[in-house]
Amino acid sequence: MNKQLQVVVGLGKTGVSLVRFLTRQGLPVAAVDTREQPPELAVLQAEFPQVELHCGSLATPLLAQAQTLYVSPGLALAQPELQAALAQGAQLSGDVDLFLQHVQAPVIAITGSNAKSTVTTLVGEMAQAAGVRVAMGGNIGTPILDLLSNDIELYVLELSSFQLETISHLQADVAVCLNISADHLDRYRDLAHYTEVKLQVYAQAKKAVINRDDTAAQPLQLPESTLSFGLTEAATGQFGLRRLNNELYLAQGDTQLLAVSELKIRGTHNYSNALAALAIGQAAGLPMAAMLQALRAFPGLAHRCQWVAQTQGVQWYNDSKATNIGATLAAIEGLAQPEHKLVLIAGGDGKGADFSELAAAVGAHCRAVIVLGQDAQRIARALSATGVQIEPVSSIEQAVAQAAKVAQAGDSVLLAPACASWDMFENFEQRGDMFVQAVEALA
């Protein structure tokens, strides 16, 4: 039995990057996937014909022979086969943990239920504007091991709760948990368990950034060096909003930095994201002028409260990335206007969430809710007491057509599903793209 054996569990792009990295280290490697035809199988067989493979299940002696199992974030660690290997002395790890054991440059670690990709991208663009050689990875973009390079001066990592489960070497230079809302409760015991995993981002961090507006996202113990952000006026040195002469500003203490009217991204949740990025950049030592330059230019990310079109006085927004209730609430509240209403399109795989948490915001701001997908009826029942019109449909095209019928001039139509997309689509990107196509066809 070879107890040096490194077993990669999950053969997507990340799995192949792990095999590539471990093979370069001269270690014996095997690979396992629960699927008969994993997406990167052909690539792996062509590039690494010597690597032993087992596809179709986790029932293989390879797990018991492993020194370390590098588990795909998509696979729950509670799987009996993984727990049995752990009991026999195998270690559980992941690609981010392996990256952290080898990285030399400073690391910014960003997690949260919502806005991780937006804030990670924004901090990366701030670093680029400052002339810093920066790489972004983790739960976003290129597999993280493929980014390891002596040329990089700063790494900005987006970390999901699933990735944090397998990280034991974090010790980030700057760490932040942006927010907490109910998500992935089909994988965690309860919200407290999910929160506990998220807050591991702060483990042994040199500097922490915290959200003043979300106590659930704040760790019990903070490093001495801490910055905060929030949507209220802030104490000296901290980041917040400030109103002056009827204009709202991003501010540090009582110093105005940038009028929110200069931002391309809209909504209070995006002002919070901008303030978070400024606090993270400040903690990392980025110059303020470069950070503000990047903020002015930042258009936002596709599928994240992305403006799509205007038709007959109605604005259309694609927030397909709103895969949980917290993200949908942020989008509703961010776009809400006292004199106009929203038409919300929601539904999909709710992952065990309680949709009644949407009721107050829907009742206050929505003209109608159009529901589709696996949990459409659960959403309809949870929102029935709001008195808002509920319209069930069976496709995204029907949702757009129905929204166009009920929306009035001045309204906004918002795709913010509060659900995962897997019941009807390959991923949230495909859902958002199909929404955009349907809106453009309408326009």
Rounded Cα distance, 258 and 293, in Å? 10
Binding residue numbers: 112-118
Determine which one of 2, 13, 102, 139 is catalytic.
Answer: 139
Known active-site residue 116 = yes
pLDDT tens readout for residues 352-387: 999 999 999 999 999 999 999 999 999 999 999 999
Percent of residues, the chain, with pLDDT higher than 90: 86
Q: What is the pLDDT of residue 123?
A: 98
Determine which one of 2, 3, 102, 116 is catalytic.
Answer: 116
The identity of residue 175, as a single letter, is: A
| Residue among 166, 37, 165, 173 nearest 103 (CA) | 173
Residue 129, pLDDT above cutoff 50: yes
Of 74 and 152, more confident: 152
Residue 408, pLDDT above cutoff 80: yes
Q: What is the mean pLDDT of the chain?
A: 94
Known active-site residue 139 = yes
| Residue among 91, 90, 283 nearest 202 (CA) | 283
Residue 22, pLDDT above cutoff 60: yes
Residue 3, pLDDT above cutoff 70: no
Instruction: Give the pLDDT band of residue 409 (cuts 50, 70, 90).
Output: very high
Q: What is the pLDDT of residue 169?
A: 85
Total Cβ atoms within 10 A of residue 360? 12
Known active-site residue 184 = yes
pLDDT tens readout for residues 217-234: 999 888 889 999 999 999
Q: What is the pLDDT of residue 2?
A: 54
Rounded Cα distance, 20 and 17, in Å? 5
Instruction: Give the pLDDT band of residue 1 (cuts 50, 70, 90).
Output: very low
What angle (nearest 5°) sits at the alpha carbon of residue 329, between those of residues 326 and 332? 150
Determine which one of 54, 179, 184, 341 is catalytic.
Answer: 184
How confident is the model over 257-282, as a mean pLDDT? 93
Q: Residue with structure tokens 């110059």? A: 287
pLDDT tens readout for residues 78-124: 999 999 999 999 999 999 999 999 999 999 999 999 899 999 999 99
- Read off the DSSP letter of residue 90: P
Q: What is the pLDDT of residue 223?
A: 85
Q: Residue with structure tokens 């109608």? A: 368
For the chain, how are helix, strand and coil distributed in percent, rounded to 5? 35, 25, 40
Of 76 and 370, more confident: 370
Q: Which CATH superfamily is domain 6-93 in?
A: NAD(P)-binding Rossmann-like Domain (3.40.50.720)
Rounded Cα distance, 316 and 177, in Å? 30
> Span 98-297: which CATH code?
3.40.1190.10
Q: Residue with structure tokens 């009920």? A: 406
**Model-level pTM greater than 0.85?**
no
Return the bridge partners of 68, or none: 6, 91
Dihedral sign, CA of 188, 139, 180, 165?
A: positive
Q: Which CATH superfamily is domain 306-442 in?
A: Mur ligase, C-terminal domain (3.90.190.20)
The identity of residue 426, as a single letter, is: E
Domain ranges within the chain, ordered by starting residue: 6-93, 98-297, 306-442
H or E stretch covering 70 = strand 68-71
